[in-house]
Homo-oligomer: A and B are copies of this chain.
Amino acid sequence: MDSSLKKFFYPKSITLLGASSKEGSIGYEILKSIKSFQFTGKIFVINPNANKILGTQCYSSLDEVNESIDLAIILLPRKFVLQGLQDCARKEIKNVIIITAGFKEVGGEGAELEKELIRIAKENQIRLIGPNCMGVINTEALIRLNATFAAELPKYSQIALLSQSGALAAAVLNTISQTGFSFGQFISVGNKADVNENDLLEYWAINPNVDVIAMYLESFENGKKFFETTKNISSKKPVIVLKAARSEAGTKAAISHTGALASSDKIVEVVLNECGAIRVETVEEMFETASTFQKIPIPRGNRVAVLTNAGGPAILLVDQLEKNNLRLSSLSDKTIKRLKEILLAESSFGNPIDMLPGATAEIYKTASEILLEDENVDSLFVIFVKPVMIDSFDVLSSIAVVQKKSVKPVLISAFPLPKFWDKWKEIGNEDAVIYKSLELPPKILRHLCGRKPRIEKLTKSVKYEQKLSLNEKSYLQKKLTAKGIIPQKDVQAICKKLKLPIAQSLLVKNFQEAKKKISSLKFPVVLKVESLDVIHKSDIGGVIINIKNLKELRSAFNQIIQNLNKNKISEKNVHYIIQEFVEGGTEVIIGGFRDPSFGPVIMFGAGGKLVELIKDDNFTLAPVTKSKAIDLIRQSKIYPLLKGYRGETKVDINNIAETMVICSNLINDFPQIKEFDINPLIVKAGKGKSKIVDMRIIAEQ
């Protein structure tokens, strides 16, 4: 394992620039943390005004230190930070953490200063963490580094933890004695001036002391890189992500439907899902999930047996299991027979199995073992509520033994008297995973259950191959020169070139021109207004369908002109599209847009009127393979209609998928495309041909 980040976590020597002798200040408290956690390396404290702080000799400047130093931690006031970093450069320190705040996050001068820091770091090959961060922790016995101002000391485990927010990390560290959260390595990345989540992912991927990676993120520094990195890692080490800032405004001022439907959080959801990360909602869920992944095996499936000594909690648990898409096992006859031999006759032998309050440690153990032997049980959930005459310690110790031995996951929720926990901790039963609630563990079990199918999906995912030909590319390049909305005639030309099934149509200036050219189309037709001033044609009465003859066409023109006047839209720049009228079929939408962080994205869902009605917005990252496109269609709400609803003939979804692949190539290969949508694509049952009735492409301005 070698990486430029290694010395952040495994320094043999550190220096503190800005250590202070003032009790209560950060410069004092961090040194106190380092000393009380008994860092195994050397500490060089720099302070020109003090002789000793907390018993440690001070140097008046870094230049005075004769030994080499692995890691510098800068706590200086903002105005001295730049000088501090230069000192580090001169001393050839390659790893620096800047805790001081007041840089990019405050804008203005602070932001300028941060740029300077980055420049100096780059010039001197320094890896920089922060500024505006909270420090670093490594709880490994050979290191014991706690360079944060958190007073509480976490226990060691193989979990690595990143927090974008220093305060959130502080809140977590402050309560660690109560929650029992543990980790091996912790880093607070602050402003991510240099080192970001992607660097740390790569480092932890190769660090053998890290089994599980957990991250609190507010933003992605480079979404595409995050996606690729996590995709490579997550089948080996679970990557658990708490992504905050869900409510961040989505793609603003989106012109297409697709853009309007895509909130940034929706895309984050898709990205995390597709790269195999596990998304959690709360800090508690993040830690408990990480800790469970370390200790509990992954189940084969989602069938759960529930064993309890109390009815009410089991009912609440079943509600939560269902909410998390977990199923209750149908127990085999043999299992029930065996349980009947050991349990009271009045017990409940369905699933949950309620053994009644009298169940002893021995009964719990035997019943658990019987259930785990059942083929229909993928995991076992044990509930224990302390009854008056039963000893909690006996029962939980015996279940803990079963949990440790079992190749199937055994989850335990226990409600003993409070004093129990002290005794439990004392005895050191820390390997056991016991939850104190009924709400969180089903979520964690869902994460465990999702792990196997996710890994399978990641490993078998087909490489994308289809591409546009050179000829197609150069043709399209010419058609995609406009800024903003691409003119319909170019859209039509692009469709023809790419063999996208656009409905036959004419572009005309007025009825007279239409009359002359109409012979190339067959009635019935549709008349649509075409103008850069009109974004949603239907809204202003700019579309008239099912026009059966020339006479009707003339009055349709008149009607639309009236509607334009009503809406105070000048006729001057207006054109008209006359299009074959596509009757029947199901309306779907295919869309795409370029996410600022993750790049091109493809959408599929119910089209036409249903778009805003049912929000059938299914996204995936572009480029898509045909099989990925089919997956997306299958997860849509409209899919039941496509596969033949109530005895109707089904639609050829292969055909839709092929259209999606072409569109995905389009947005993937032409960075000038900002958004597009095809709405509706009318798809027909059986051998009927799909038709694009409307397609819009919007270029970057």
Contacts and interface: CB of A to CB of B under 8 A. Distances in A.
Interface in A155-193: 163-171, 174-175, 177-178
Interface stretch (A297-305, A371-379, A510-518, A535-543): A535-543
B319 A417 contact: no
Given A166-B312, A167-B310, A174-B415, A24 B389 contact: yes
A167 B319 contact: no
A167 B313 contact: yes
Contacts of A169: 312
A609 to B, nearest CB: 6
Contacts of A165: 310-313, 315
B24 A388 contact: yes
Given A315-B244, A386-B170, A538 B646 contact: yes
Q: Give the residue among A106, A149, A388, A647 with the most B Cβ atoms within 10 A.
A: A388
A322 B250 CA distance: 14
Contact of A613 (B29, B357, B637): B637
B646 A539 contact: yes
B312 A218 contact: yes
Contacts of A218: 312, 315
A52 interface: no
B102 A346 contact: yes
Nearest to A242: B316
Interface string A308-333: 01111101101100110000000000
A168 B313 contact: yes
Contacts of A536: 646
A217 to B, nearest CB: 10
A341 B437 CA distance: 46
A418 B177 contact: yes
Nearest to A107: B346
A219 B417 CA distance: 28
Chain A residues touching B, range: 35 or more
A495 interface: no
A640 interface: yes
A437 B415 CA distance: 21
Q: Give the residue among A110, A310, A316 with the most B Cβ atoms within 10 A.
A: A316
A270 B356 CA distance: 34
A81 to B, nearest CB: 15
A631 interface: no
Given A385-B170, A388-B149, A164 B614 contact: no
Interface string A411-454: 00001111000000000000000001111000000000000000
A312 B163 contact: yes
Nearest to A318: B247
B612 A319 contact: no
Given A25-B389, A167-B385, A175 B312 contact: no
Contact of A244 (B24, B29, B312, B346): B312
A415 B609 contact: no
B310 A151 contact: no
A152 interface: yes
A282 to B, nearest CB: 5
Contacts of A281: 439
A351 B169 CA distance: 22
Interface in A371-418: 385-389, 415-418
Contacts of A436: 175
Contacts of A648: 538
A108 to B, nearest CB: 9
A71 interface: no
A151 B417 CA distance: 9
Contacts of A316: 168, 244, 282-283
A603 to B, nearest CB: 18
A540 B647 contact: yes
Contacts of A166: 310, 312
Interface in A591-648: 609, 612-614, 637-638, 640-641, 645-648
A415 B637 contact: no
Interface in A526-581: 536, 538-541
A1 interface: no
Complex A-B, nearest 4 residue pairs according to Cβ-Cβ distance, in ascending order: A165-B312, A167-B310, A168-B312, A171-B415
Given A168-B385, A174-B385, 9 more contacts: A24-B388, A152-B417, A167-B385, A170-B310, A170-B415, A175-B418, A246-B322, A282-B438, A538-B646
20 contacts: A26-B388, A149-B388, A166-B312, A167-B311, A167-B312, A168-B316, A170-B387, A174-B386, A175-B418, A178-B418, A245-B315, A247-B322, A282-B438, A284-B437, A536-B646, A538-B646, A538-B647, A539-B646, A609-B645, A613-B614
